[in-house]
Amino acid sequence: MHCKPRPFDIVHVSSAHPWTDNRVHLRAAATAAAFGYRTALVAVSTEDVSDGDWSDPDPVTGVYVRRLRRRRRIARMSVSTAEAIHGAISSRARVVHLHDPELLWALPLLALLGRKVVYDAHEDLPAQVLGKEYLRPVARSLFRLLAWGAVILAGRASVVVAATPDIARRFDPRRTTVVRNLPRIRIGDDTAADVGARAMRAVYLGAMSRDRGLEVLCAVAASRAQAPGWDLVTAGPIDGAVDRQRFDALVDRGAVDHRGVLDPGAARDLLLDCRVGLVPLLPTPAYSTSIPTKLFEYMAAGLAVIATDIPFWRRLLSGVECVTWVPPGDPEAITRALRSYASDPVLLDQHATAGRAAVRERFRWEYEQRRLVAVYRVLGLPDPAVFRNTTRM
């Protein structure tokens, strides 16, 4: 049993994300720990258990984790947020790194207690509201007001860490740093089978909703005869606001192999046994300027990619020929792309190889993490006394 590590240098806090979350734990918090900072994490349990306090650090990341019990949305917004902030305060950390807009109410309290606060803006909240076409006018106006209120309040944090340049434009550039949510390179990625030797699987990894292309995926699955030989595999949570009857029926028929919610390691392992990754997100205001993490996860795992033709994504991958671009919401274009990859193994290998090389050379967390550490130094934390190799985890 390790001695109690308080006071921590940094505590990462989320009342919405699971403690296994890629950005919150396996990238941001793990980076702080790897650079030598005493790092804690308050986040949501994946097994419906809670922790009373920190004891031993996570054996892989070195982060001390305190898990909150999972709750439904209303209880999460009240009880879980209070528990999360209480955990942050009890950690006695000099820097509190918040990862959810629902925690912004605590900014004045944390400032009063002398804590430096980093707000991690994962998403463009005002743009998200614009993309929710199903909202009635009154509800849309209310949510837009709340979104802009959250942006204004977040701007009062000591530093804002934005996941994309577009999100960063919402905040004061003097106190905002862009840290993109890009994948780490894993040891297993080096030994993965060549893409042509893998099963003929097309995979969608991540949360599923209408805006993320759930209806498109259903249409692709329903027309599997148009792309013979291919299996469709999905993994991730399904938005509770969507009608999932059609998706569930396709799963029951065996047209979709749905693996449920996987931990990050299992998710990456799944990718290593697939040939093509799908990014069917619709060009909503939020996604039109997003940096889809799944795109780079696919590339890191050596998959060819079929993605919605969004101009920002094309510019992001300028000079990298690893994607077949398809019109938004067009399942027939996706099935044509799958047929093309099946009939042209050279193209499949070229796209997979180019994508993997681009991640190693340009699009990897190891190039982002130093910006995050620089933020902590600006906030008064000393230069880390210990630096461990963080290239592979």
The H-assigned helical ranges of the chain are 30-34, 73-75, 81-90, 107-112, 125-131, 137-154, 165-168, 187-190, 214-222, 245-253, 264-271, 293-300, 311-316, 331-343, 345-361, 369-378
Peptide bond into 7 cis (omega under 30): yes
Sign of the CA dihedral running 220, 224, 230, 231: positive
pLDDT at 390: 45
Q: Backbone dihedral region of 142: left (phi > 0), alpha (psi from -120 to 50 degrees) or beta?
A: alpha
- The mean pLDDT value for 102-129 works out to 92
pLDDT tens for each residue of 146-178: 888 888 999 999 999 999 999 999 999 999 999
DSSP character string of 354-366: HHHHHHHHTS-GG
Closest C-alpha among 180, 148, 173, 159 to residue 290: 180
Tell me the pLDDT band of 185, cut-offs 50, 70 and 90.
confident
Residue 130 pLDDT > 70: no
Q: Which residue type occupies 205?
A: L
pLDDT tens for each residue of 19-48: 999 999 999 999 999 999 999 999 999 887
pLDDT at 313: 96
The alpha carbon torsion through 354, 184, 18, 241 (nearest 10 deg) reads -20
pLDDT tens for each residue of 278-315: 999 999 988 998 999 999 999 999 999 999 999 999 99
- The mean pLDDT value for 270-277 works out to 96
Tell me the pLDDT band of 393, cut-offs 50, 70 and 90.
very low
% of the chain exceeding 90 in pLDDT: 75
Sorted by where each starts, the structural domains of the chain and their CATH numbers stand as 10-180+368-378 (3.40.50.2000), 187-361 (3.40.50.2000)
Residue 235 pLDDT > 60: yes
Q: Which residues of 81-120 are buried (b: 16+ CB within 10 A; e: fewer)?
A: bebbbebbbbbebbbbbbbbbbbbebbeebeeeebbbbbb
Distance CA 342, CA 359 (A): 24
pLDDT at 11: 98
> Apex CA 124: angle with CA 68 and CA 103, to 5°?
30
- pTM (two decimals): 0.89
Residue 189 pLDDT > 90: no
pLDDT at 156: 93
**In DSSP terms, which residues pair with 12 in a beta bridge?**
41, 97
pLDDT tens for each residue of 57-93: 999 999 999 999 988 888 888 899 999 999 999 999 9
